[in-house]
Amino acid sequence: MKSFLYYTGCFIAVLGTVHGAPARNSIRNSGNPPLRGSEDLLGYSSDNKLSDHSTEEIKYTLLPAQKEDPKIGSYLDFEKVDNPQPIRGDLGASDPGPRNYNYDRINSDKLAPPGTDNGQTINAQWPMGLSRNRDRYGSGNSGWARQENTVVMPDATKMAGVDMRLEAGAYRELHWHVAGEWSLVLNGSCRIQAVNENGETFIDDVTEGDVWFFPPGVPHSIQALDAGVEFLLVFDDGDFSEDNTFLASQVFSHNPKSVLAKNFDLPISAFNDIPEEELYIFPGTKAPKDIEEQNVTTAAGIVPLSQSYSYHFSEQPAHEVAGGSVKIVDPVTFPIATNFAAAIVTVKPGGMREIHWHPTSDEWTFFIKGKARATLFTAPTTATTFDYRAGDVGYFPQSNSHYIENTGDEDLMFLEVLQTDKFTDVALGQWIGSTPKQIVADTLKLPESALSKLKTEKQYVVAGSNVTAVAKR
């Protein structure tokens, strides 16, 4: 039989392990140390050990532009740099980690901001690649949807976006929204259909580069044609969520069958097989090639051409400028979209969408192709530079100045969307170029050689310069 002293000793040992303070040497010498250490580890002790691992022996190579004056702010292409560092001129220091090198390589202006950045503006960037696919997305491998709204960009209060894909023959089921829905087809083709409050019907086939708009409350459907389709949806409410869409399947499943029977003058049995859950995106019977086969009309007729819900923007030639091209669609030519104005901007390598701001609207931007960066300036002194890739959303508040620079080796293409009845902006270059030279000289201290070259007209997109080319090498 074990003695009382034996059990007492075990009990004390257990208490010492959990609540007490085993001696420092006992912790080091035990086979399996306890979860908690000794109180001896607090503060100074002659036994304290310092790491002999040096954080000063990091191997890295700086890009030439990192040795410039930080206020030059040349773009730093870290994508092929093994160990990019947060250094510009005499600013910053090496970073031994831990860190995510993938993020650092594609967000060089976050790792090593230009010396002109100051403070922190709103977060003007959201990659759709970080938006999870919606619950119950694309049954039968029919598609998917990812969204951006105030949940992920709290300051993007005026607009929200959805990137959606439908495989050939798949439907975005019959539905309507409280918000207005503006769309740009990114690739492929689809058939859109709607009925408005007057009973007027609408149907059209749209393809890559075309746009559509459905006003709030107008029910509609979308079906991918044989090539499948991907489209971008922009809503006039930053809080918009796909989860709050009014779906035909849900309207039917949440009304008593006796009420449905009375409403449609049908037997209750007609509703035995209606879906119990939403369909959202689902495979369907392929649309007939001849659109006339689906051209249903009512006594009210069809939607007047002047109020068409689609605009074949793909067929509009782009306006060419020195650094790329611009083309605009707004209520001037697409009247039904009463508060949506948009531009597709293409910027050649080294070029830049000139510094500008929009006096009456926030700007919601989607990057379609290429690499870019932009500096958002917020009065009086705050500026943050962001890096963008295809699939990213940018957001620039009303009257906050910004540019969008092509930082890649291919054409940059992006969409600018405004909440206004006409696409407008104020260009910094035109403002300064159209101001008396004496005022400009007294204010900005520009030399006469620079004043004589200022332009009085908007450039929209400016071409790359020798400065840009040198900085990127």
Strands (E), 149-260: 160-166, 171-176, 181-195, 201-207, 211-214, 220-235, 246-247
What is residue 414's three-state secondary structure? Answer: strand
Q: How far apart are CA 114 and CA 375, in angstroms?
A: 10
Question: Is 177 annotated in some ligand binding site?
Answer: yes
Active-site residue 39, yes or no? Answer: no
- The closest of 113, 129, 163 to 373, measured between CA atoms, is 113
Query: Catalytic pick from 68, 278, 416, 457?
Result: 416
Q: How far apart are CA 141 and CA 99, in angstroms?
A: 36
- The closest of 239, 245, 238, 244 to 176, measured between CA atoms, is 245
Which residues have C-beta within 8 Å of that of residue 17, sequence separation ≥ 6?
34
Could you tell me if 282 and 248 are in contact, meaning their C-beta atoms sit under 8 angstroms apart? no
- Strands 324-329 vs 246-247: parallel, antiparallel or unpaired: unpaired
Question: Is 19 annotated in some ligand binding site?
Answer: no
Q: How far apart are CA 254 and CA 247, in angstroms?
A: 11
Could you tell me if 203 and 192 are in contact, meaning their C-beta atoms sit under 8 angstroms apart? yes
- Buried b / exposed e over 292-315, threshold 16 CB at 10 Å, is eeeeeeeeeeebeeeebbbbebee
Could you tell me if 94 and 72 are in contact, meaning their C-beta atoms sit under 8 angstroms apart? no
Could you tell me if 278 and 138 are in contact, meaning their C-beta atoms sit under 8 angstroms apart? no
Q: Give me the residues paired with residue 383 across strands.
A: 118, 377
- Residue 311 tokens read as 């605009």
Question: Is 53 annotated in some ligand binding site?
Answer: no
Q: Which DSSP string do the residues of 339-391 spell out, in sequence order?
A: T-EEEEEEE-TT-EEEEEE-TT--EEEEEEESEEEEEEEETTTEEEEEEEETT
Q: How far apart are CA 393 and CA 368, in angstroms?
A: 10
Q: How far apart are CA 393 and CA 151, in angstroms?
A: 14
Question: CA torsion 269→272→275→276, rounded to 10°?
Answer: 120
- Residue 279 tokens read as 């369909």
Which amino acid makes up residue 469? A
Question: Is 181 annotated in some ligand binding site?
Answer: yes
| Residue 154 neighbours by CB distance under 10 Å | 11
Question: Is 356 annotated in some ligand binding site?
Answer: yes
What is residue 418's three-state secondary structure? Answer: strand
Q: Give me the residues paired with residue 141 across strands.
A: none
Which amino acid makes up residue 294? Q
Q: How far apart are CA 232 and CA 220, in angstroms?
A: 16
Mark the binding-site residues for Mn(2+), compressed into ranges. 175, 177, 181, 220, 356, 358, 363, 402
Mark the binding-site residues, compressed into ranges. 175, 177, 181, 220, 356, 358, 363, 402
The catalytic site residues sit at 416
